[in-house]
Chain A
């Protein structure tokens, strides 16, 4: 700490800080354009010039470090004069666009020109004009408004990790460009809209929809990944709740989670809220035809049918599935209802299929460390995790940490296009991956002088390199990603990884998909634990079991099984054959019209209040922004009234708070330790089969984003094709761009094939969640490919 003087006042500031940081710390405002606290310092706009005693010229506050007893004036005549001249030069070429500019009212240039600009211009020449830059379906550019602050460029290089933008040309002709014309590939591109101080980069989906001053800000929690990024919904019509609509989404700062960034999925998914497939009133199917019904009629029909099925077959005939946007309160009521009806079969782990170690796992998955800890690691080890598309916000911590010496190792089923360089990587098909992981554990155990519990094959050179890296690092985090969790070997992976973590003293955690998968498991939406976390002696059926031993009745809460579960084909078949399927859903689909008998419209995240639990285990609550569209109701109300219709006791909740209180009493959070079984022998592995990798592209991960139209336009050709490597393609006699038939059991689809050498041998990647792959086959299972005749 050193003493400096700003505007005559003495302050204690950190040594090494810049003047602008010191001033911000103490609430003294210095105007700036290019400086951003999360980006490197460029010092190219010169707006932050201040007077420093004993310096001839004014100094840029963002790049001048403080020194002991420095005397600074931010408002002196000299400083103001410098700031005024900078402003005058900036405005020479700035268009008079404010009335049609989406930044208007929230524009740093507007603000500063009120403070430092002149109302008249001495400039008589032609103003500069720059062509629009085509950046894809999410960002609209007006490059004439650009003030060359390079914030967008620095964001894309330092935090986005992709360096998609840069400056070309010199002097007055200097402009931001993508060099070769192409759309932005980043999953975080929307953040450039926020960092741009002017209206040069604006959001296309909410373009011209309203002005910043008429929006009302509502705090919210992002509903698409397990990080729980904080954000604001901006809605129109503050005085009339009935006609309020979500107009856009912007990030809310939370240093411990998302800093000030959100992913494009979180930012633009709101478009799906008004999709034409929104279910607006309860629907009941009679003899194959769908009819609208009143809530009263629909709910009593539910109660009658469900009641009579349970009366004749026992509660055991009911299976319940909860999707990841179900809030904790809703999940709590759902499991309470299920168990009150005498069924144990409830699950929310839609994208897992190996539950053999469930009794030994933590009651709900955890990251193993804090999200903010990722900033200060030595080594990060991803196992089967496409962090870039599944948890884009995490990469804003990883990308800059690489500069600071973080090394990232990975073992993946394909060479994912990470935005950061990997120190070591093993790419192998699911079985080979298991062998390499076992080899890694055995090698590390040997090096540590422990007796190896598992006999494994010889480690590959990369595996050895990973072992070396892990043995030589202090702070390590192991993260098991969505691919590993979805694998049929998940329990083996988990056991080996936790052994590895113990051996090298690392933290070990999981990165499951979905906003509230963690919270749902916590409140007991799993077959093997009750809401209080107590393990059941006789667990119910998990999602796979429920489809293998079909139930008579199903209740589905906020999911579309055709696109949301791993074993889509089998699930659809089972649901089709069930006597009763009740869907609580915000959206309908053709498939749902097939298998469902009753559809009850429930509110998506922006229209309901509730809580999500993120992967760190912190519970975040949010309020409804708008009233539910049409006749939709928040799912907790629907479940509560359904329970009343079913004449169940203890469902007399008058408000969401009452549910929440009950939930917090029942679900006591205690940090239970998990003792995963130690894997001694590897499960038998099948050889010579083509295994289907089935990742969900970022914009197809849940019902809401699948309906967000602008995000859908970002899907690239390789994301909607089957991918194989050249060797597999040639053994099957297939060529790049040809149509192929993929078959898994009875289900079959036709899809374009692309040759991509990022895929290992014996694997084919056919993405899940696409409209062509809806209801197709199962992930991680054998698949056959043949040339299509058509």
Chain B
């Protein structure tokens, strides 16, 4: 008898419906978490391994000394370097190519580099439209380095002394 009454009350007050709506109302009232990609992005670690770049010293001199350690360590054999004696007697590259199709963004090159020249920036938005663009030449890599220098330096600063 009592059960019958409870059932009818629930039916007439649309109790089940309200119970279902509770989740809707709860999420309707809570803060939005969907990101409007590409206008908005998830935050990335300062150690994120994205597009490659070659850095310079503050005086504009390229850092790379053609020691070829990155070429040797690269598990994907993506790096090709040729070197020479520059007119001022220092050791420099004449060619520094990275095939980004081969690159697996492991970051070993950055780790091997004794002068912090080759680095992985946190940039991940880049696309290649034509065959051949996958070879990042020295000029291109230095240009990327120039564009991102402040960010690269900032990210390296956070990790200073930790590794």
Contact = CB atoms under 8 A, between A and B. Distances in A.
A1 interface: no
A213 B65 CA distance: 17
A100 B85 CA distance: 11
Interface stretch (B12-20, B66-74, B144-152): B66-74
A100 B65 CA distance: 7
A237 to B, nearest CB: 10
Contacts of A207: 85
The SS class assigned to the A binding surface is loop
Contacts of B72: 211, 213-214
Contacts of A100: 65-67, 90-91
A104 B83 contact: no
A209 interface: yes
Interface residues of A, number: 11
Contact of B84 (A208, A211, A213): A208
Contacts of B69: 99
Interface string B108-141: 0000001100000000000000000000000000
Interface in A207-227: 207-211, 213-214
Contacts of B90: 100
A211 B85 contact: no
A120 to B, nearest CB: 15
Interface residues of B, number: 14
B83 A99 contact: no
A209 B114 CA distance: 19
A210 B67 contact: no
Contacts of B67: 98-100, 104, 211
Given A99-B114, A99-B115, A210 B65 contact: no
B68 A209 contact: no
Interface in A172-219: 207-211, 213-214
Contacts of B65: 99-100
A134 to B, nearest CB: 13
Contacts of B68: 210-211, 214
A633 to B, nearest CB: 28
A208 B115 contact: no
Contacts of A208: 66, 83-85, 91
A208 B86 CA distance: 10
A15 B68 CA distance: 47
A132 to B, nearest CB: 10
A366 B8 CA distance: 124
Contacts of B83: 208-210
Interface string B80-112: 000111000011000000000000000000000
A670 to B, nearest CB: 52
Contacts of A104: 67
A603 to B, nearest CB: 24
A211 B69 CA distance: 9
29 contacts: A98-B67, A98-B114, A99-B65, A99-B67, A99-B69, A99-B114, A99-B115, A100-B65, A100-B66, A100-B67, A100-B91, A104-B67, A207-B85, A208-B66, A208-B83, A208-B84, A208-B85, A208-B91, A209-B83, A209-B84, A210-B68, A210-B83, A211-B67, A211-B68, A211-B72, A213-B72, A214-B68, A214-B71, A214-B72
